[in-house]
Amino acid sequence: MTRNEQLKQPLTGIIPPMVTPLLEDMRLDLEGLTKLVEHLIAGGVSGLFILGSSGESTSLSYAIRHQLIKETCRRVAGRLPVLVGITDTALAESLSLAETAQASGASAVVAAPPYYFNLNQKELFNYYEKLAGSLTLPLFLYNMPGLCKVHIEVSTAIRLSEHPNIIGLKDSSANSVYFQSLYQSLRGKPDFTLLVGPEEAMAESVLMGGHGGVSGGANMFPKLFVKLYEAAAQKDFATVADLQAIVMQISNSLYGVGMYSSSYLKSIKAALSLMNICQSHMAPPLAAFDAAETKHVTPIIEQFKLTLEKRGLL
């Protein structure tokens, strides 16, 4: 058993939402997985979050989801906490993924709201209470209104934070008022972890009291985000300004290419392919950039690699 029995609370720093390396035939790319895990650990991240949106969790067969949990935990081997996404529309499948996570030595699980039926806050609360009560691993809530259609409202999150098995929340709403409301309402619970999803908002949320970021771009450039996190945590404002500018240049130049909602993810996989870490394949209904799009992003990615290399951040 290699789990971190004592998951540090609150969990701080950068916990990348790890992309899932796939072969062209949609099997797991096990070699890519090894390289990606080592790339991230070498980059100084505080943990790994697998099977989130960036991990294309909902596009993967269950067999592959279970395999990914085992293979990732085996590779990490207790060096870092592994957080496992168990978001699903079927409670039974979420619990099954959580069992595999537990058996594999993961530290916690993460669940966004069930994303098919439209739920009100009472239904959402009841769902999370039932889920948390059935788990042995601790649970992070995951607010993702853009994909799940429902907001975990502040009052619902506060009530759920009373549950002994719910230890944190990841917010991907990009709404700074929501995050501040949550943060101020939870000041009496300093161990409750508050992480922010969009990498563009990570630095400012940490400046304002957040514990860290689940920053997708950290798949490509973990050192950039780790350094930016540290600067924000230490209130080193000059470094924050400097690195935030790079983070935003990445966002502005890459994440809108092709005008897909998932351009962000396509760009990250394209970059990992250029860096020989894993291939760029994506599971349907998403797809990797086509040839023209890849040609467009390649020099941009190369330029960022140079920029970061010069600063010792690659």
For the annotated catalytic residues, the residue numbers are: 142, 170
For residue 61, the minimal CB distance to its own copies (Å) is 4
Using CB under 8 A, which residues numbered 133 to 152 contact its own copies? 146-147, 149
For residue 270, the minimal CB distance to its own copies (Å) is 17
Hey, what amino acid is at 159?
R
Interface pattern 158-197 for its own copies (x via CB under 8 A): ----------------xxxxx-xx-xxx-x----------
Q: Which is nearer to its own copies, 26 or 80 (CB)?
A: 26
Binding flag, residue 62, its own copies (CB under 8 A): yes
Count of residues binding its own copies (CB under 8 A)?
70
Give the distance between the most distant pair of CA atoms in the chain.
Answer: 52
The first and second tokens of residue 46, run together, are 């505080």
Residue from 80, 102, 233, 260 touching its own copies (CB under 8 A): that is 260
As a whole number of Å, the end-to-end CA separation of the chain is 33
Cα 44 from chain centre: 15
Which among 29-37, 74-82, 260-268, 297-305 is the span making contact with its own copies, rule CB under 8 A? 260-268
For residue 174, the minimal CB distance to its own copies (Å) is 5
Hey, what amino acid is at 286?
L
187 phi and psi angles, rounded to 5 deg: -65, -25
Q: Please, what is the Cα angle at 181 between 180 and 184, to 5 degrees?
A: 80
Q: Which is nearer to its own copies, 80 or 183 (CB)?
A: 183
Q: Which is nearer to its own copies, 7 or 64 (CB)?
A: 64
State yes or no: cis peptide before 284, omega within 30 of 0. no
Contacts of 159 (CB under 8 A, 6+ apart): 125
Q: What is the Cα–Cα distance from 253 to 256, expressed in whole angstroms? A: 7
Q: Hey, which residues does 170 pair with through a beta bridge? A: 142, 195
Contact 224, 243 (CB under 8 A): yes
Which residue ranges make up the site for its own copies (CB under 8 A)?
26, 53, 58-62, 64, 89-93, 96, 113-120, 123-124, 126-127, 130, 146-147, 149, 154, 174-178, 180-181, 183-185, 187, 198, 200-201, 203-205, 207-209, 235, 237, 240-241, 244-245, 248-249, 251-252, 259-262, 283-287
